[in-house]
Structure 1
């Protein structure tokens, strides 16, 4: 029989991640239910490697999986086709990366995108409101792909100091989400950010260089990174040189 899942009142602290359900329990990584999605609670959760994830009609569910999927930015796999896409994007006057110019549009598009094998979305309306409040407080950011003055793709993430936690991506044009992720990798490399949290293992993330690490190692990385000064959340075209050095040969 699995251990009893803790129920949290709005002001209750989260249990330690090591208390999460294990591999032989019904939902490995599940830590607690209930609580609140306030800015302070979300910041405390991410600081200890915990995140909310639940569906319509469910209570807030908190997760701390072991192992944890991360993307080491030094190991990002720039496949030949994506390299060519980025080169064309960088060199086109009507293509640009923007940061935090349309956060609610990005998270709403992420909530509304179709997901293979899933009905509905975990980005329920109260999550949208909560992360928009987190954005206003300076702890959530959007990386946006713009073409011809239109938002065609992007992602949003949470950041505490130099600890960066990826949340969700969307694309309304071919490779638009990959362009945004590539821009985030460039921004991270520029500012000495070593990993992007990806939460759960997916084949897509693995193909781009994501890999699993233990929860203990992840918490050590988070504790180190979140205590470092936050970077300036902007994107300059020169940042593309982190992936596309001007001296590199054509692929």
Structure 2
């Protein structure tokens, strides 16, 4: 058992929240019960995750994608009302960490995806040093890297193969980080892995020869939240359950 403020303080320090400029508030977004016995983790604070956490008798939820984002106009209507109503009625604490959870060198989304692919980061790149770059165990082709992603994440990625060079340096940044592709190229990557692809990236890959692989926003970010929540649970003696709400995006 732990007090929600203990958990909040621990996470603020662990994830170095203060050093990031983010798109929304990191930390305790919805206050629930003071004492936490069971913690559920998930990717996004969707209604389905909240309902599953209620069914699991959780006192707190830890997610990567919370409820509040830059540009929100402050009205509690529609989907936001439905989610908040459930959280407040069942007194469930909601903790959300966006960029800090991406960036943690061991427990974050990028580190955990790298571990899945046996990629060890030896450098950072991009805005706020969110991108990771390192070498695979041995050089491989873009097709082989795509097959590895499909095997590890259970989803066929979109692969733009570049010029077919052996991939000796691989860069990655989970989620919607397609805008980091040019920074990855400048950092010396032979390939870049992220969650999403937009129209320009295919052209950049063909014109620079650097492979681009998009493996799904949700699929690439399933690992940070449960890793952080497991650390919290071990620290405070809590029960922890990861609940994956599938998302095709």
Pick the TM interval, shorter chain. Answer: under 0.3
